[in-house]
Structure 1
Amino acid sequence: MTIINLQTPQVVELAPPSVSLAGWIRINLFNGVLSSITTIAGLLFFTWIIYAVGSWAFVNSVWTSPTAEGCQGITGACWSVIYARSRIILFGLYPYEEHWRSATACGVVVLVVFLSCIPALWTLLRLSLVWGIGAIVFYGLMHGGLLGLSVVPTDRWGGLSLTVYIFVSVCLIGMPGSIVLALARQSRLPVVRKMSTILIYWIRALPLLAILFSAALIIPFALPEWLQGDKLTRVIAAFALFFACYQAENIRAGMQIIPAGQDEAAKSLGLNYWQRTSRIILPQAFRNSLPAMINQFVMTFKDTSVITIVGFFDVLASAQAAFGTAEWAPYYIEVYVFVGFIYFVFIFSLSRYGAYLEKRMRVGHE
């Protein structure tokens, strides 16, 4: 409600009157015959959905049968396929007796991500130490060759640990690259600015699958053998370039919001280009583009499932192998639900942490 004071040219905004829960329900859900019928029909429909899903997933389901025979004749879910084939889903082609290494490596990544969320560690040196040590420990556990661990080549990696490894590697390599590309697009040197613009537009115009397919199968024909590396390294490098080009545009958008007067004021104080960029421009650019950056991280984790096309046994491919036998073939829905839950946990955690950062930095709440 708005009241205009006629004596003084001042507009006074009054808070809307408070409405109780019962009043809100009556106004929004039962305001008339048609509204009441729609509300009741919707409640009945969602009640039926909850009952049907609950009966299938929990009431009539089988959880711990070691064979598919225990699921014959049931009307619910056969979660026994997860119980019996969980190692294949989580570890893929990794040697069975070395599964503890893959599980420990995933735990190391989760620990590193958790430590990175602590504000006390938000300095370049501390984060570099945490991620550097974590990367060395992860690769040492997965690859082996040290402390008596047997060597497991990258083509034997699979399951959840491979998905996490690719996601973390792409983000670690792609974020510095995105900063470089964003600064290059803002450069006053025409050659640097145009070359970075062409690269970003060219990569963004191509589908991710085409880029990964080229890195895995075509690039080896154009490079000498000593420069090719293994297929996983090439795929991660191509994926990181794709990530960097998209993230660079998010960062550049955050930089364009910053008033030009701040850079001019920094120049008047005698700060050089790198001091202005590291202390004034980039911190504000990250803050301004934080929602878009978090969204790009979420999309990158979902896009890791594409690597199945180029021959890697990620968690999705491992899930398909779990019900690939005649015994467990009828229970593919349960496997896909389990894999979907894994993706949901990671993506929901990323989105909630992004919301926490937005609230902490008060993005959009000035």
Structure 2
Amino acid sequence: MNTLANSAAVAPPGRVRMLRKRYFPTPLQGVVSVVSAGLLLLISWKLLDWAFLSAVFGAEGSAAECRAAGGACWSVIANRWRIIFFGLYPHAEQWRSALACVAVVAMIVLSCVPSFWRPWRLAAVWIIGTAVYYILMKGGILGLRYVGEEQWGGLALTLFIFVATCLIGFPLSIVLALLRRSELPVISRGTGLLIDAVRSLPLLAILFAFAVVVPFMLPGWMQTGKLYRVVFGAGLFFAAYQAEIIRGGLQGVPRGQEEAAMALGIGYWHRVGKILLPQAMRNALPATINQFVIGFKETSLVIVVGFFEILASGNAAYGTGEWTFAYREVYAFIALIYFVFTYSLSRYGAYLERRMAISSR
């Protein structure tokens, strides 16, 4: 009894025992754990010293002061942030671009609130948000100076391309997924051929084709601005991938549910809208959120067709003048912006998964 009591007294706590079992099960793995922890601490210290301790902050920091310092030069952000956020947009009108960004972010946030998950409420939010953005960015009315799409740039253009791509691509993906499940072979195979053809091409090729090739194929009255053609091409690419995700979600719905609905005389649109699509969306939610994240990051590809989105604006921020050495800081700042948006999307997706898991019980 004394031996058992002594062993219980000297036994490590549960958490210590778990750490020992996970990281020090054998002497060799213990050495690997210690070396890895040391390298991680060393890298963390180097990053901390570079980003904060030895860095130069504020708009007062000059390029010469930054070159002499051993850390990051955040002064390039303080001095060139207008180019990063607004691109080629006229300096005197950049307040409009800032308000347009706020309008888009507010529209996205309101769309994520459950109390707005009603068809008319969502439609009102998107119509009002899109109208406010377009009026602010383009002007020409209400006393606002006209600014053409070729002068749009920075974060405002990135958000516009992302929102417009999703607004075009997501409804189109539902249509394509349903057409591919059609019982008519001509429709199902034709839709499948279209989806596979789009998915077989890289997004760069599609953007280039819609920006440069499509105008030669259309009559003058059907041609639109290059920005809108590029957005439609990106939306088509998004729809092709999302259609397959939704089709996979539809295949996860038990066949017996649709057959039971047909036996009860429920019409096609009620079967799809009330029974099949809600369950398919729940099944396809993780992949759908991932597709939205990919779509946001792929907005940077429009640089190849001449648009000044946030990454191109970042290149201009350090590529001219005296800040050519500070490219690391600019890319780190842009990466932080991308991280904020993509992380927010992923966290919202996790929230939806928890909410749907609770509601399905």
In structure 2, the residue matched to 1:343 is: 338
In the TM superposition, residue 133 of structure 1 has moved relative to its aligned partner by 0.8
Task: State the Cα deviation string for residues 238-277 of structure 1 (Å, max 9, x = none).
Answer: 1101101100000000001111111121122221111111
In the TM superposition, residue 222 of structure 1 has moved relative to its aligned partner by 1.1
In structure 2, the residue matched to 1:174 is: 169
Aligned length: 347
Q: 2:54 aligns with which of 49, 60, 84?
A: 60
C-alpha separation in 1, matches of 2:204 and 2:275: 37
C-alpha separation in 2, matches of 1:146 and 1:65: 36
In structure 2, the residue matched to 1:88 is: 83
Contact (CA 8 Å) 1:167, 1:304: kept in 2 or not? yes
Alignment of 1:101-140 (within 5 A): 101-140=96-135
In structure 2, the residue matched to 1:24 is: 18
In the TM superposition, residue 42 of structure 1 has moved relative to its aligned partner by 1.3
In structure 1, the residue matched to 2:28 is: 34
Task: State the Cα deviation string for residues 263-301 of structure 1 (Å, max 9, x = none).
Answer: 121122221111111111111111110111111000001
Alignment of 1:143-182 (within 5 A): 143-182=138-177
Contact (CA 8 Å) 1:258, 1:285: kept in 2 or not? yes
Structure 1: gaps (5+ residues): 1-18
Moved over 6 A (4+): none
C-alpha separation in 1, matches of 2:341 and 2:243: 23
Task: State the Cα deviation string for residues 42-66 of structure 1 (Å, max 9, x = none).
Answer: 1111111111000000000001144
Task: State the Cα deviation string for residues 178-214 of structure 1 (Å, max 9, x = none).
Answer: 0100000011122211111110010000000000000
In structure 2, the residue matched to 1:230 is: 225
Answer yes or no: is 1:201 the counterpart of 2:196: yes
In the TM superposition, residue 226 of structure 1 has moved relative to its aligned partner by 1.5
Answer yes or no: is 1:69 the counterpart of 2:64: yes
Contact (CA 8 Å) 1:305, 1:314: kept in 2 or not? yes
Matched position secondary structure for 1:94: coil
C-alpha separation in 1, matches of 2:117 and 2:59: 47
Structure 2: gaps (5+ residues): 1-12
Contact (CA 8 Å) 1:88, 1:159: kept in 2 or not? yes
Contact (CA 8 Å) 1:65, 1:71: kept in 2 or not? no
Task: State the Cα deviation string for residues 51-102 of structure 1 (Å, max 9, x = none).
Answer: 1000000000001144313313100000000000000000000000111111
Contact (CA 8 Å) 1:319, 1:339: kept in 2 or not? yes
Answer yes or no: is 1:270 the counterpart of 2:265: yes
Structure-2 change in CA distance of 1:117 and 1:256 (3 Å): same
Contact (CA 8 Å) 1:204, 1:245: kept in 2 or not? yes
Q: 2:252 aligns with which of 257, 262, 265?
A: 257
Name the structure with the higher helix share: 2
Q: 2:241 aligns with which of 235, 239, 246?
A: 246
Task: State the Cα deviation string for residues 301-325 of structure 1 (Å, max 9, x = none).
Answer: 1111100011000000000000112
In structure 2, the residue matched to 1:282 is: 277
C-alpha separation in 1, matches of 2:19 and 2:83: 49
C-alpha separation in 2, matches of 1:248 and 1:65: 48
Answer yes or no: is 1:187 the counterpart of 2:182: yes
C-alpha separation in 2, matches of 1:31 and 1:142: 61
Matched position secondary structure for 2:68: coil
Matched position secondary structure for 1:161: helix
C-alpha separation in 1, matches of 2:23 and 2:17: 10
Q: 1:49 aligns with which of 18, 43, 52?
A: 43
In the TM superposition, residue 28 of structure 1 has moved relative to its aligned partner by 1.5
C-alpha separation in 1, matches of 2:260 and 2:45: 64
Give the TM-score normalised by the residue count of structure 1: 0.93
In structure 2, the residue matched to 1:294 is: 289
Equivalent position amino acid for 1:81 in 2: V
In structure 2, the residue matched to 1:5 is: none
Matched position secondary structure for 2:236: helix
C-alpha separation in 1, matches of 2:214 and 2:23: 60
Instruction: Name which of structure 1's ranges 311-320 and 22-31 shifts more when overlaid on structure 2.
Output: 22-31
Matched position secondary structure for 1:72: helix
In structure 1, the residue matched to 2:324 is: 329
In the TM superposition, residue 27 of structure 1 has moved relative to its aligned partner by 1.3
C-alpha separation in 1, matches of 2:91 and 2:14: 60
